[in-house]
Structure 1
Amino acid sequence: MSVSQSAVVTEEGELEERASTAIVPWWSFTKALIAAGVLRLAEQGRVDLDRPIRGQSYTLRAILQHRSGIGDYSGLAEYHEAVAKGDDPWSDEALFERVSPEAFLFRPMSGWAYSNVGYLLLRRMIERTCGTGLPQALHELVLEPLDLRHSRVAETREDMRATIFDTGRPYHPGWAFHGIVIGPVAEAALALHRLMQGDLLTPASRAAMLNAHAIGGALPGRPWLTTGYGLGLMSGTMQRVGMARPLHVIGHSAGGPASTGAVYCASQDGYRRTVAVFGPGSNEGAAEDQALRLLARM
């Protein structure tokens, strides 16, 4: 990663010196915040994580953990072509014509497959339940309670022009159908620390968020040795050259046009820090490796 922006939060919740305040797209780290919003609605009795959705065979919990069997648009050539041309985003209905939420890759809860379409369904559920758009709903449910004062859901190309990576500024955030938070790198690190250490969620909700489904082992070109996924959170073990033993981490990687990121905390004694790293390019492994270096104080 040629030029990157980073921030480190200590175990006590304080930002270390030189934490970046640059505005960046949080990309799929936004999923952790969406998951926290859904869990808060469940705590309030407004949604049920385990009730099948509108006659479907999948539940909110299955979608949160990417175990619903719903497909994704990331493999669609026409999606990437439209983004590259600078087209305006498809409507939800046009997306569903290409990736139907009712055409399953597997029986719900019998497998695992990453699905941005599933998280779009979560967005729509949050908006129906709260009676407002995702920007306001996520602000009220998560961003404001976590005291993230300079972070928000991006809605327009103009919003993206506030971010620091030049080649990503023309991107329309509507192409990430579940929504994208943009904000300071430092606030991304604070967001994860406060989710894990604060009182936004009940202990039971946090435990549910951390209860990971095992996915597999090492990922080529990335520091992962084991991988799992909870409710909106990636988890597993990472190791880089020079580390005596693997480190268990929790958080989410992030990637989109022109930039990548990694927001992770370590849960082992002696390594209780939270870090966020964002930089240009498409190499998520490089962002993860730099985040791991900061977690391990290397």
Structure 2
Amino acid sequence: MTQGRRIFSCMLPPLGAEVADDDSALLFPYWSFTKTVIAIIALKLAENGKLGLDEPAREKLFTLRQLLNHTAGLPDYGTLRAYHQAVQNDEEPWPPADLFQAAMAQGMRFAPGCGWSYSNVGYMLARELVEEAAGQSFAELVRDMISVPLGLESLKLASDRKQFSRLHWKAAQRYHPGWVYHGCLIGTPGDAARLLQALFAGQLLQTTSLQQMLTAVPVGGAIEGRPWTECGYGLGIMIGRMGVAGRAIGHSGGGPFSVNAVYHFPDRSTPLTVASFTDGTDEGLAEFAAVKGGEAQ
């Protein structure tokens, strides 16, 4: 228990023998951990020559790589008050074109490649580019490249309210996953941990692609109320240090009613992959739980 909230976690050692997986049948939203999957699929398509990470995207000044590591200079729709009010009112999602227009009305943050700024808009565009290059929907790509090969039976892309109503928290019944414009994967904590573990086990990407993914843009130092002491961002993946836990590589996520933290801790005497989920809006709670889970082994 953490501040009255239950933490649902799964911890996996390198060889995949499960150590702990609380309530393994329960489903949770992965929120921004979905970004990691978008980046994995983009890199797999690049391996197959179906797209280029450094080519201008749709005749724009920014590239897919810049979208994936948040250096494209795009604004974020999370800063729009009208967006949050619509979500709170349980309205239907806006058409993507309307959302994009409202977000871009805020202006570019900086010229592409000249800074770093987290942007969900950028990942909405990255998903569209990936779908165009593959000639498949994101849901199909997740199924064909991730879920089926790894045997992650719970992993799905949520597209409607009915799917969200199956999630553990009742608050999910008043939320349309379409408000996450790059897409929101759902699944068990165990499948989240298995997905990230498979990445580091070489089951998803070639070595050179994984090296590109882990090339981080330095973002900053310690974050108040969270375990980070050093922060960076690669391609769809958060990279840094969490105090005595050492390096942490993965992604946190959060929505209006829950948060999660899915991380690999390579500096442990026995490296671990941990996925933690809880309710509320404080990502630090899930991150500290992930760190604590690793310390227990």
Matched residue, 1:53: 57
Check the 8 A contact 1:154/1:173 in 2, yes or no. yes
Aligned alpha-carbon RMSD (Å): 1.5
Output the CA distance in 2 between the equivalents of 1:88 and 1:76. Answer: 16
The secondary structure found in structure 1 opposite 2:62 is: coil
1:115 to 116, 119, 132: 119
TM-score by length of 2: 0.95
Output the CA distance in 1 between the equivalents of 2:249 and 2:21. Answer: 23
Tell which deviates more after alignment, 249-258 or 124-133: 124-133
Q: Which amino acid aligns with 2:80?
A: L
Check the 8 A contact 1:168/1:257 in 2, yes or no. no
Alpha-carbon offset, residue 11 of structure 1:
1.6
Matched residue, 2:222: 218
Output the CA distance in 2 between the equivalents of 1:133 and 1:110. Answer: 31
- 1:62-87 CA distances to partner (integer Å, 9 max, x unpaired)? 10000000110001100000001111
The secondary structure found in structure 2 opposite 1:228 is: strand
Tell which deviates more after alignment, 195-204 or 135-144: 135-144
Matched residue, 1:82: 86
2:239 to 222, 235, 238: 235
Matched, 1:15 2:14: no
Higher helix share: 2
| % identical equivalent positions | 38
1:4 to 7, 18, 28: 7
- 1:150-191 CA distances to partner (integer Å, 9 max, x unpaired)? 210000010001110111222100000000100011100111
Alpha-carbon offset, residue 97 of structure 1:
1.4
Output the CA distance in 2 between the equivalents of 1:187 and 1:160. Answer: 17
Alpha-carbon offset, residue 54 of structure 1:
2.0
Output the CA distance in 2 between the equivalents of 1:116 and 1:143. Answer: 23
Alpha-carbon offset, residue 144 of structure 1:
2.1
Tell which deviates more after alignment, 161-170 or 216-225: 161-170
Output the CA distance in 2 between the equivalents of 1:51 and 1:94. Answer: 26
Alpha-carbon offset, residue 125 of structure 1:
1.2
Output the CA distance in 2 between the equivalents of 1:57 and 1:80. Answer: 29
Alpha-carbon offset, residue 271 of structure 1:
4.1
Output the CA distance in 2 between the equivalents of 1:115 and 1:77. Answer: 16
The secondary structure found in structure 2 opposite 1:169 is: helix
Output the CA distance in 2 between the equivalents of 1:211 and 1:169. Answer: 38
Output the CA distance in 1 between the equivalents of 2:208 and 2:23. Answer: 33
Output the CA distance in 2 between the equivalents of 1:5 and 1:34. Answer: 24
User: How many pairs does the alignment contain?
Assistant: 293
1:158-173, aligned counterparts within 5 Å?
Answer: 158-173=162-177
- 1:210-262 CA distances to partner (integer Å, 9 max, x unpaired)? 111110000011111000000000011112xxxxx351110000100210010
Matched residue, 1:289: 288
Show structure 1 runs of 4+ deviating over 3 A.
Answer: 17-20
Alpha-carbon offset, residue 146 of structure 1:
2.5
Output the CA distance in 2 between the equivalents of 1:128 and 1:272. Answer: 37
Output the CA distance in 2 between the equivalents of 1:135 and 1:107. Answer: 32
Check the 8 A contact 2:12/2:20 in 1, yes or no. no
Q: Which amino acid aligns with 2:267?
A: Q
Residue ranges of structure 2 left out of the alignment (5+ in a row): none
Check the 8 A contact 1:186/1:276 in 2, yes or no. yes
The secondary structure found in structure 2 opposite 1:287 is: helix
